[in-house]
Chain A
Amino acid sequence: KAGVTQTPRYLIKTRGQQVTLSCSPISGHRSVSWYQQTPGQGLQFLFEYFSETQRNKGNFPGRFSGRQFSNSRSEMNVSTLELGDSALYLCASSLDGWSTNSPLHFGNGTRLTVT
């Protein structure tokens, strides 16, 4: 069974630009969540989508947005990039969202560098 696939693996952008990251979940998984990981802050939750609906959102500015398609694939968009947006962006899928025994399966992330 294929794992969670994130594309691209690496991305370099300049301040002010926008970027779109893609995540393909494990087949059959309906929940996709996104996280930002930086050395100083660790992993921080961005948002979760379930059956094409945003179910929860973390404490990030509106420049961060996402969506989920009918095939459960998800995209995350960051507009007006800032230097502080440089991070590893991780996507995780799970069978039916956040339940007690439903593990999160993470992709290997997209490393975004903003210059």
Chain B
Amino acid sequence: KNQVEQSPQSLIILEGKNCTLQCNYTVSPFSNLRWYKQDTGRGPVSLTIMTFSENTKSNGRYTATLDADTKQSSLHITASQLSDSASYICVVSAPGTASKLTFGTGTRLQVTL
């Protein structure tokens, strides 16, 4: 069964600190891996999209890495800000259509003063 597991479930960090969120998946075959940020009460917003041939992609202070051999991805947030407080969702897709999307349950990040 295709699965996407994220860790930790929740995380609290001080403003200005860095953090790394993990995503392990078993989806095979694999097409791409996406990271989304979801603020409370809002829809998810795309941060990065990586194909199996890419091993790193950045979007401002967000950097995603991918190791397709070990089926692991990480999202690194640099110099965190209060506005980074949100849920971060990892989504893996197999080739084909939307029914083959597998969602992680997310990591809830809280950035405090």
Contacts and interface: CB of A to CB of B under 8 A. Distances in A.
Nearest to A50: B97
Interface in B80-101: 89, 91, 93, 96-101
Interface in A89-115: 90, 92, 97-98, 100-101, 103-109, 111
Interface size class of A (residues with CB under 8 A): 20 to 34
Contacts of B42: 108-109
Contacts of B101: 45, 98
Given A42-B104, A109-B43, A100 B32 contact: yes
B1 to A, nearest CB: 12
B45 A55 contact: no
A48 interface: yes
B103 interface: yes
Contacts of A81: none
15 contacts: A42-B103, A42-B104, A43-B89, A43-B103, A45-B98, A48-B99, A58-B99, A97-B98, A98-B100, A98-B101, A100-B51, A103-B46, A106-B44, A109-B42, A109-B43
Interface of A: 4, 31, 33, 41-45, 48, 55-58, 90, 92, 97-98, 100-101, 103-109, 111
Interface of B: 31-32, 34, 36, 41-46, 49, 51, 89, 91, 93, 96-101, 103-106
